[in-house]
Structure formats: C-alpha cells, structure tokens
Chains A and B, each alone.
Chain A
C-alpha cells in the first residue's frame, strides 16, 4: 500500500506510523479528494468574474461559451497564463528580496550579511556591462543591485531586462524580440498577464499564450538574478559530500529543519546555530544542533554548505512524523499548511518567518534583514526549548540515508572540466558530445506530485537516460529525489551510467580530484537555480556558434505540480528546449492551446512541450529528441 504512494524508504517506515496515530498526510488528503473535478482537470472552468463560474462542455453537447462569450480556448489560455504570472511573481519576489538585501549590504545597513564571493560579484558586474575599474567592492555591489532592481522598474518597452539580455545567445534574443516576447520589466509582465486576462480583455488564445511566454521569460530573468546574487552573498556552490533522506535527523541533537525557498534567513540560522551549540548541549542535546533541509531552502544550504537534505516536497510531513524535528522554520513557497497541524501532534515548533506567509497554528517570528542574527537566535532558542519537550518514546528516525555529492553550479562544472583543459574548459564537454560519448544532456527539475508515486518517475527516467549515456543535471525537488535515492554518488555512476558516459564522468572526476567519477546526476541547486543549467547551455551554444534549440539538450519535470513549474517549463520551451512534463497539464480542454504548446511552439521557438505520463516511454521520447538534434548538428 505504502509503496503506491512513494518509493522513498522512509515513507514505508513512517506512513504506517501516521496511520496508527491517526495523522492524515498529503496522500490521505489526495485520496479523499478523488475523483477530482473533470472541468478543472481540463482547464475549462472560468472563475475570473462573478457572473461565473462558467464551464465549457468539453464534449460539445452543452455550453460552448461562458456567460461573457469566452470559449474553451480563451478560458484555458487565460487560466494557464495566470499560473505563469503567479509562478513568475513567486520567483521574482524572491529575487527582489535578495537584490534589496544586496543593496542593504552595499550601503552597510545589514551587519549580518557580507559579500562572500567577490570574484563572482566582479564577474556579474562585467556581464551586466558595468565598469568596475577602481571601484571598491561595496560600490560594485551597490551598482549591481541597482541595475538588477532596474529589471523591476524599467518602463521603456523596447529595452529588454538587463539580466536576460546579458544571459542568452544573440540568436535567441533576436528570435524572442521578433515575437515581441522579450520582457522589459518583471513586475510589468506579471501585471500585464493579470490585466489581459481580466474579464473582457484579451480573448485570442495565441496572443494570450505569447503573453504568457513573455511572462515566463520574466520569470527566467528573476531566477537568474536571484541565483547569481545569492551566490555573491552566500557563496557559489562547490562540490561537497553530504547526505540525504530522513536518516540525517539525529536522535541526540536539536533538529532544526529549514524549509521553503529563500536563503536569506536559513543562511543566518546556520551561522547562528554554530554559536548556540553549547546552549543546546546544556539542554541535554549531546549532539548539539543539527540543521537539515527540506525542499529548496534545503537545496540552497545543501549545495552551498553541505547541509544534509531531509526531505523533498511530498515528504515534508514525514519529517515531522519522525517526532525528532524540534523546529521547522519556513519562509515561502511549497510549505504545506498541514505542517502546523502535524507539528501540533508532536512537540515540534513550526515557525513562520515572513509576514506575507503565515500559517494558522504556527509561531510567527517576523524576520527582518537588519536584525537577521537576532531573529535567527530567537528561532534557535525556540527550537532548543522544544527539544526539552520532546518525547523520546515517540522518536522514529527511519534508517534511510544516502550519500550525496552535490554543488555543481555552472562554475563548478566548468571548473571540473577545466581540470582536463584549462585553456578551453568547454572543449572536453563539446568533444564528448560531438563524438557521442555523451549522447545529450537532460535537466531534471521540479516538484513531487501526489498523482505520481513519489520520486519514481525521476528515478526511472534517470536510470534509463544514464544507461543511454545522457548527462544528467538536476535541481529542486527532482534533485532531492535523486539525492535521497543514492543517484548522486560515484557508485551510482559506476552502476547505472552507460559505458561512454561512465568514461567521461570518470575522466573529469578523477582529474578534478574526486578520486573517481563525478556523481551520476549533478545537483545544480534549488528550483530557482535552473538558470544555472541555462548558463552552461548558453556557454556551449556560444562556443559552437549555434542557438539553444540546436543543442541535444532536453528538460523534464516528470512530477511537476506548482505554478512555478508552469513558468519554468514555459521559459524552457521559449529558450528552445524540448520539455517533458509527466503530469497531465490542465489545458487539454482546448485543442488550440494544446496544439500551440506541443506543436506550434516548435516552429516559433524551437522548444515545445511533450506530455508523457509513463516515465519509461518519456525517456524514449527524450532520447529520440536528442538523436534528432544530433542529426541536425550533423554529429
């Protein structure tokens, strides 16, 4: 029974326990929700005005238009691009937050933060076209922050956002400009989508989708800047060895789970925890303080500091059911509101930190950057207090723990390759692709979804692609899945990689001083860090003088669920990358929108969506696309 829910071994231990204790989990709620509304699944239900809700009969017998006259195509297109707007808003609020923090650091107003990667700051300034000669670090940081914030403010419609303009290939920029799809201002894109989908506005499905694509590219812009500025403030990921799954919780330590997405607070919590070890020991925790990650906050601290990852999206509740988490500190995005209810079944403090993300039943510690360390101290103190209330009898930490070698940002990958060829680091990669040792590259991203057995599609697809010599990159909860299932190890490379891929990974890993191959799947970071994969792809494309839609590069979100995933998938398509989705998207009620995204997009953008729920078949389709691209390049 349990195994239909998840292939995660910790679920097998903890779900029966939850059942025994009468604690409902996400899977129980999924079951109670069945069957789900067909109109919603098809995307043909409109609630955009109060004449509604309206729903279109997908089979032609009943109403074909909403009360205002909108048909299925209009309604589906509006619904899906509203999801893009929300995803874009989520990522770029995160980005704005980091950019403002950087400005604060530059102005000397945030004593708890510093610039940890000076080299990256200079590189970013140069990339953005800023003249930095003779300027001191804080001035440069200030300029970078202001230029970045300009991407939220620019009112000149003909001037694209600075980050996107300095990130993509020339050809891609021209192509997107030709479609009027280059965003000039992130906020404006979100607003524009909401404006054009208001009752009585844009009704042309194609025009709506192009507007959505533009919004999704604004999402890409927001992700790029969030990732790069976070690296400057908190350090650029470098390969480190750590561990994943719930076995990383410690019975004798104060366990603090940091959950959500934004590193601004979690980083400081990590810093402060080190200083409060003694206090924890005085409270009886011989093991001191153990910070573990959940979801993308987890990925952020994992790739930067090697902090172990306890859970990805669908197992966040399981972390609490261990009875060993003393505090779960959450910020924004992908936090199930159920955590406070489950926390209340135990001694666990659920601590919200952002004023615009509260959960009933949780303790709220308002987090402010100028007082970050103080806030973090408050949080750790709450965790230590909770530890004192912990009932050792109820602690069940599953014996599930896998080693994970993580931290392969663009710099780390180029760095590892540089060990083979210092003058031209990309050459070994390009040569391997050209001679077929690496058949192609696949980026795995995105969520977990109760419609798929947790992690299973990720693992099935990765094993099949690796056997066929596809180089695998991963971010977000997909990366979490691979880490938990031991696919980010050298052993996994030896076991699952095809012969030629194994040879390449071994050559690079050995040269880079890892004493063996690179891990089978390279962990690039959180979901906001998908831009890292694009950075590598753009470098390769530029080096070859081709555009992104010619590279044997594919993306996949086999267990996607969030609006952010819709935005990411859409920009991925817009950048020319064939993108697989393993969840049925809520668009099939409109043949026009379905065709637009899965077929017409190919002509317009080079990238397109592929929907395939069966992971085995999905892997075959991705291989076919990779081969088609290879033929196109004549290799």
Chain B
C-alpha cells in the first residue's frame, strides 16, 4: 500500500507568548545530553542546544530547523549526510565532516557545527559536526523537550495536515460570519 504523503512536522513558536526565558534552549541541551540537568551541571558537561532564542524587531522567539521539504541543506551537503527521514530532515552525524556548507545555505541559521562537548583537538579533527533540531527523535521522548519546558506554552509541534485543517476551518468560519453580516444588511456580496 502506498504510504500517505505528509508534510514534515515543525515546531511552531508564537512570538506573542514567548518571554525569552531560554528554558527551551536549556531543555533542548539537556535532552540531547542524555542525562539530567543537575548531573550535567555538576559534571561540568558541555551541552549544546539546537534551537536559539532570538530577539529582533520587538519580538522574541526561538528559531529552529523548519524541516524544509526541499531542504537546501540536504541539497548542498557534499557528503550526503542530510536527508529526509520519517517526517523530518535528519543529519547523519557520523558522516558529517563539518564543512559548514549547510550552515551557509540554511535560510534560518538553524544549523551549528560544533563538537558536542569541548574535547581537545587531536591534531586532526575538531570533532565538530552539524547539529540542528531533530524534533527530539531518538531521545525517547513523546513531546520535544522545548515544548514541554516552555512555561508560557509558546511552542507547539505542528502537524501540517491538522494545522491547515484548523486554518481552513477558521477562514471558513470567518467567511460565514461576514456572509451573514452582509445578508443581514441586505448587501449583495
């Protein structure tokens, strides 16, 4: 049977609700570190978030990978490390050489190329690989960590089918409303 073709899910950030507290960054870093917050802090681990809270033009919101359908990063990657996989854009970190081409082509600045921890270079490699939001795949979570952590519920995981459906319904409801108004006023639309 043919699989239903769905658009990649995305994390939606509501700039109206975001307070810029950076909780989403912290929880992202901890989720990908594999441990808990206090242990990571006590052990002095270097953990890196895969989202970044940005303030510009009077709004604050975290920015992370859009999981593009025709992803420039995947297109540009010379080692073929970036690919579409189960409704998201995945990076095969072990194949990444850290050339940063993806960084240059990503329209959102969603990729960083750094080592997960801060190991000394061994003379040959800095161990930096491309990282970005992976919707918390392989972290064993049901809901991405940032969404869980946001105290104002500014973040949500958007399934585009559902999102579009509710958008359409809202639009239709609006139209119906104005239609009724026009009929009441006996104005021909």
The answer to whether A42 and B27 have CB atoms under 8 Å apart is no
CB distance from A585 to the nearest CB of B (A): 9
In the complex, chain B residues 8-61 whose Cβ is within 8 Å of any chain A Cβ: 21-23, 25-27, 29-30, 33, 37-38, 40-42, 44-49
| Interface membership of A134, Cβ < 8 A | no
CB atoms of A38 and B23 under 8 A apart? yes
Within 8 A of B (CB), among A49-64: 55, 58-62
- Interface flag for A39 (CB, 8 Å): yes
Q: A38, A58, A59, A584: which has the most chain B beta carbons within 10 Å?
A: A59
Smallest CB–CB gap between B56 and chain A, Å?
Answer: 17
Name B38's contact: one of A41, A55, A61 (CB within 8 Å): A41
Whether A38 contacts B37 in the complex (CB less than 8 A), given A55-B22, A59-B47, A59-B48, comes out as yes
A: contact size bracket: 10 to 19
Q: With contacts A35-B149, A584-B38 known, what are 20 further pairs, Cβ within 8 A?
A: A37-B21, A37-B151, A38-B23, A38-B26, A39-B22, A39-B26, A42-B38, A42-B41, A55-B22, A58-B26, A58-B40, A59-B29, A59-B33, A59-B41, A59-B46, A59-B47, A60-B118, A61-B46, A62-B25, A588-B38
Residues of B within 8 A of A55 (CB): 22
Q: Is A167 part of the binding interface, using a Cβ–Cβ cutoff of 8 Å?
A: no
Point out which of A41, A55, A60 has the most chain B C-beta atoms below 10 A from its C-beta: A60
- A591 within 8 A of partner (CB): yes
What separation, in Å, do the CA atoms of A584 and B23 have in the docked complex? 19
A589 within 8 A of B: yes
CB distance from B158 to the nearest CB of A (A): 21
Q: Are B46 and A591 neighbours in the complex by a CB distance under 8 Å? A: no
Given the complex of chains A and B, what is the CA–CA distance between A589 and B149 in angstroms? 18
Is A381 an interface position by the 8 A CB rule? no
The answer to whether A41 and B46 touch (CB under 8 A), given A35-B149, A55-B22, is no
9 residue pairs of the A-B complex, CB under 8 angstroms, read: A35-B148, A37-B23, A39-B21, A41-B38, A58-B26, A60-B46, A61-B29, A62-B25, A584-B38
Say how far A90's CB is from chain B's closest CB, in angstroms: 27
Report if A58-B41 is in contact (Cβ < 8 Å); known contacts: A37-B151, A38-B27: yes
B38 nearest in chain A by CB position: A588
Complex partner residue of A59 from B23, B42, B45, B151, CB under 8 angstroms: B45
Bound CA–CA A38/B31 (angstroms): 12
Q: How far is the CB of B144 from chain A (nearest CB, A)?
A: 13
Residues of A contacting B29 in the complex (Cβ-Cβ under 8 angstroms): 59, 61
Mask, A398-436, CB within 8 Å of B = 1, is 000000000000000000000000000000000000000
In the bound complex, what is the Cα–Cα distance between A584 and B30 (angstroms)? 17
Which chain B residue shows the least CB distance to A58? B41
Nearest to B47 among chain A residues (CB) is A59
Interface residues of B (CB under 8 A from A): 21-23, 25-27, 29-30, 33, 37-38, 40-42, 44-49, 114, 118, 148-149, 151
Report whether over half of chain B's contact residues are helix, strand or loop; otherwise say mixed: helix
By Cβ-Cβ distance, the 5 closest A-B pairs, closest first, are A59-B47, A38-B26, A588-B41, A588-B38, A58-B41
Question: Chain A 17-43 against B: per-residue CB contact (8 Å), 1 yes, 0 no?
Answer: 000000000000000000101110110
**Interface residue? A594 (CB, 8 A):** yes
B-chain residues with CB within 8 Å of residue A61 when the two chains form the complex: 29, 46-49, 114
In angstroms, how far is the closest chain A Cβ from the Cβ of B105? 23
Q: How far is the CB of B133 from chain A (nearest CB, A)?
A: 15
List residues of chain A with CB within 8 A of the CB of B22: 39, 55, 62
- Minimal beta-carbon separation of A253 from chain B (angstroms): 45
Contact with B along A259-288 (1 / 0, CB 8 A): 000000000000000000000000000000
Given that A35-B27, A59-B29, A59-B47 are known contacts, is A42 also in contact with B37, CB under 8 Å in the complex?
yes
Q: Of all chain B residues, which has the CB nearest A39?
A: B26
CA distance A164 to B170 in the complex (A): 71
Question: How many angstroms between the C-alpha atoms of A623 and B45 in the bound complex?
Answer: 31
Q: Which residues of B contact A38 (CB under 8 A)?
A: 23, 26-27, 30, 37, 149
Distance to closest chain A CB from B40 (angstroms)? 7
B151 touches A588 (CB 8 A): no
Distance between Cα atoms of A59 and B26 in the complex (Å): 9
CA–CA, A382 and B174, complex, Å:
56
From residue B156, how far is it (CB to closest CB) to chain A in Å?
Answer: 16
Q: How far is the CA of A588 from the CA of B46 in the complex (A)?
A: 15
A562 to B143: give the CA distance in the assembly, Å.
33
Q: Smallest CB-CB separation from B53: which chain A residue?
A: A62
B28 → A minimal CB distance (Å)? 11
Of B25, B38, B49, most A-chain CB atoms within 10 Å: B38
A101 and B27 alpha carbons, distance in the complex (Å)? 52
Please encode chain A, from 587 to 608, with 1 for each CB lying within 8 Å of some chain B CB and 0 for all others.
0110100100000000000000
B44 cross-chain contacts in A, Cβ below 8 A? 591
A35, A38, A60, A62 — which one has the most chain B CB atoms within 10 A of its CB? A38
In the assembled complex, which residues on chain B have CB atoms less than 8 Å from the CB atom of A62?
A: 22, 25
Closest to B149 in A: A35
Please state if B42 and A41 are interface contacts (CB–CB under 8 Å): no
Closest B residue to A44 by beta carbon equals B41
In the complex, A490 Cα to B23 Cα: how many Å?
50
B30 CB → nearest A CB, Å = 7
**Closest CB in chain A relative to B113 CB, distance in Å:** 13
In the complex, what distance in Å separates the CA atom of A37 from the CA atom of B151? 8
Contact yes or no, B40 A59, CB < 8 A? yes
| Cα distance A573–B151 in the bound complex, in angstroms | 36
- Nearest A-chain residue to B151, judged by Cβ: A37
